[in-house]
Chain A
Amino acid sequence: MSAAPAELPRWIDIGLIPVINICLALLVSGLIILAIGENPVEAMAIMIRGALGYGEGIGYTLYYTTNFIFTGLAVAIAFHAGLFNIGGEGQAYIGGLGVGLAILAFDSTLPFFLLLPLGILAGAAFGAAWAAIPAWLQAYRGSHIVITTIMFNFIAYAVMVYLMVNVLIKPGQMSPESREFAAAGQLPFMHEMLAGIGITVTPTPLNLSIVWALLCCVGVWAYIWRTRWGYELRAVGHNEAAAVYAGARPRHIVVAAMCISGALAGFVGFNEIMGVHHRLLLNFPAGYGFTGIAVSLMGRNHPVGVVLASLLFGVLYQGGAELAFEVPTITRELVVTIQGLVILFSGALAYMSTPWVTRVWRALLAWRAGAAAAEGA
């Protein structure tokens, strides 16, 4: 990605231009809705109402948001090290496998307060391990991480299908799912926790893992901007040659950054397996890993931005489901389309509007200088 000209003030670069990009993406989405004969304004209203207008909608929105925070952070931290982790999908899959195996092994013997950290550790370890192989290959064998992580998505898929169909399936049933976890191995749902303190809300899949997602945001922020390792990581991502002279070890950084990235992606499994489904099953990553790319690009690789972008995608997912339910000609795939447009405009074409904005900004400065000169004279 080319750098924006330095003369623009910070608020335009990190505030205005991303907003312009999102508006462009939404504009094109609106044209698509228009093209299939629906009213884009009405569609937008249904989406927002469906996502934020009532308790159940909000619960689902935040549940989707949880997954996007994990995968968005995963892509973001890799970006800071100059790596493109396109394998979030596979890492989430294998991370979920780790969570599931750990809980299946210990849910009858250990209490909840031990199973909780065990689930987190297992998800992180499996996700990190799945990312570590492409990272090692990139660092020590020179193979391109984009290609290897794509390949590892497919390999993860094959591994999971094999394990679920042949090994982990609960005997005596057709669908490839494991047995349900015991109660100690299930994260409490938000509606259960709120009921405990006397607040009643509609049951939704939203669960304790959203708290962990927010903690991860703080952790990633602190790691990247407040530790020596984070400094080293950003230095390597920015200019590897210069970083080497400053004493950084790029190979270690590549492996470390990808392990953290994979661990974060693996937490999707923590939310889905331990928080929602309470059993191992197929296809639970459902594209969250790819959406993480859009989330990270939109959030400019900053945890605060990632949370905001995750919320927006949560609204899109839940609102899109509602929209598909209410308007028969519109399907859920509209959300996928919008997601593609967001990646296009805030990623690949991120600096398309910069020359225009720069021109307007310069004209504004010149006009202001002229006005000040006239006042002085």
Chain B
Amino acid sequence: MAQQGLFGTSLAKKYWMALTGIFLITFLVVHAGINAMIFFNDGGVTFNTWAHFMGTNLIIRTMEIVLFLGLILHVVDGLMLWKQNRAARPTDYAFAKHNANSKWYSRSMGILGTLILLFLIVHLWHFWVKTRHIAGTMEPYGVDAAGQENLFALMADVFSNPLIVVVYVLGCFSLFWHLLHGFRSAFQSLGLNHKKYNGAIAFLGAAFAIIVPLLFASMPVAMYLGWVK
């Protein structure tokens, strides 16, 4: 393992965590933006158009691979950090008041990340593995009013199950806490800490952590309750 530089050292792990984190944050923006097309309430036509574009465009498909690589790196790096950090304190305190000096979610990024990962497996099964890799998945849903493959109908079907809606909402909660620490933390890890801008970064981080997961959570809920048709 390298002793200095951008691979293997404790600081390198932070940089990679931050960079992949920021990359995943940008992905969330795109993902949330396109999914929000369901709120056009046009039977999913706009949404299906964008979904089709995302599923077929060569650049986007290439980025998909990069995205997966980024995610894997984020997860693996995170697990390595978690493991090393556990090992750094072989005996724990008999009595500790952690809440007196830090936030529980800052201390729980590993757990929150794991919850998000579990959610992602469910989520990818529903909307990626089945649709892309299991032939015939889309057949029962036919086409939409514009004659496009009807991913919207699949969504409506999946979110008709209240249990799945709850799982999705919980996933978004985990994402909220994860982002609440992660957004700001990424800037700090990259050394971007300046009295003049810290307030703005903190505000942006909190706003992002609230808005994006809220938007995501509103989708299954809206579909389940029939607000979007």
A binds B: no
Contacts from B to A (Cβ < 8 Å): none
